[in-house]
Structure 1
């Protein structure tokens, strides 16, 4: 069945397409269109189930009421939880969300930004990979509201929401040091993104402060667990002296726990464990895993609040906000000192 257009409705009812358009866009009263004609058009529209073309409407009104949300991996519990909370709040404010995964891939992210441009989204929320500074600058030049989260791009002047990554790993390492652990490893993704470099620095600062030697394994980001599990296995086999390890993300952490299980390493008797990004798996693991908890609800709330304020404000040129939130170290059984550790 052919999809009806405004022209088809106008021809069927023998009225002008301009009149039909005014009625469908809620401007009948403003244009002094008679009540009887309005009712006749609305009755026919209801009967045929006409739905306006949202893209065409956005071109007319300049608004699509859609927000583009781009995260590293929408299946990751951290990003999934934040996306859900943002979606709920956006919907209550009349906006819908289209979200997608960038896989930390620069080219894919650039293509997705172009796709969102084609859809005429009203604003962007992005956990940015490296190399898209120029693309975001172009959006900002065109007056598009952009809020970055989880990490920021130092050379891009826009609003961002993130946590205090440096203190988070510093605090986790200090906890292990205070428990008496001396050979503390750090396993993380290899990245020059702001959140990952800050986590690395926090770990190194804590060890340096206590005169301990850093033992680091950086892994190339990959969705395939096999490419994460293999280097962690090699690292743990090579460094038998380790008595504790900090995992830099929840993805690395869950892979690390699988390796620990498969190698028969006892936690915390053989190896104490702390991971970034607390979630259910870490609480359910036996023993329960000490983890750095990000304030997910607060992150989502700040991100969508900043974006909605930008969307609803006619004032441009307001100084961008840099919002940095605190984390919490949830101490559980995996990092408690045991009697056989000296």
Structure 2
């Protein structure tokens, strides 16, 4: 038997930066683990712009198959199952809930988070209804489900009553590009963005669950406690949620910098340049920026909610994200204690090293093999 696994990489586009990174890193790490008789087909949408070159992953056991269909396309419901039949696929793995709901082969579904249900104010009633319906369809179609954290697994049980034996927790990991950068690289990114020698960094979007308004409030309180530093906020800015920036302007905070989106290539050096990384999110399915910062040798303050405690372990200073006083105190405490920051830096490097795409690929490929019923030695 020559098992054929199909990983849907149509989300490896500019529109899905997080899920795209997941798919590409998983495929890259899985390729060298395949047995001689195993094949991995990557479905790619060639009509969409992508920061990743999936063709570079092609080889003797990995093939890239072009499928000019977006995950939002209704036509995928019959076109993708037909393609899986032509490819002789034994298994289909979707990293996204918008997928063919009758794929015709055993299916693995990765669930990253359930944000539309947990934060209903971020979407319309119709959008929430559609998310619940399509997610329920995807869960029913899946033979097995991968949750990226225990927190996500609990959310699946709570909101969709998914039995525990149908879910495996297989975490994500920081990209190998995230490691402490050289002084020259750090200085170059500091000059490029006009950053001071010492600053506190946040990387992420400004969506409401990211809790930036409270971060701005906490930063204002930290200045009352004597902080003389700069808060740098980097990430894609959604104009629907201007409240954090408006609050900073109203409070007259001159020490908040808004960088906007930063190219992936600049992120490791940007993390490495920071004195402290702060991540006050109310909810994360996994919370990858915390591990990225740790992997770059930056001490971390983050929320004590959702998946963040399991991701950060004892290597971060945890704070209640709804308590701006506690968040401000955590920032001030670490900024004022160089020895503690150094200790957390070392702990963070060790914690980040516990997560690897190699391990994630081993666990995922093992799941494929169990489902297909092929024991490969």
Q: Same fold (TM over 0.5)?
A: no
TM-score scaled by structure 1?
0.34
Determine which structure has more spread, i.e. the larger CA radius of gyration. 1
TM-score scaled by structure 2?
0.32
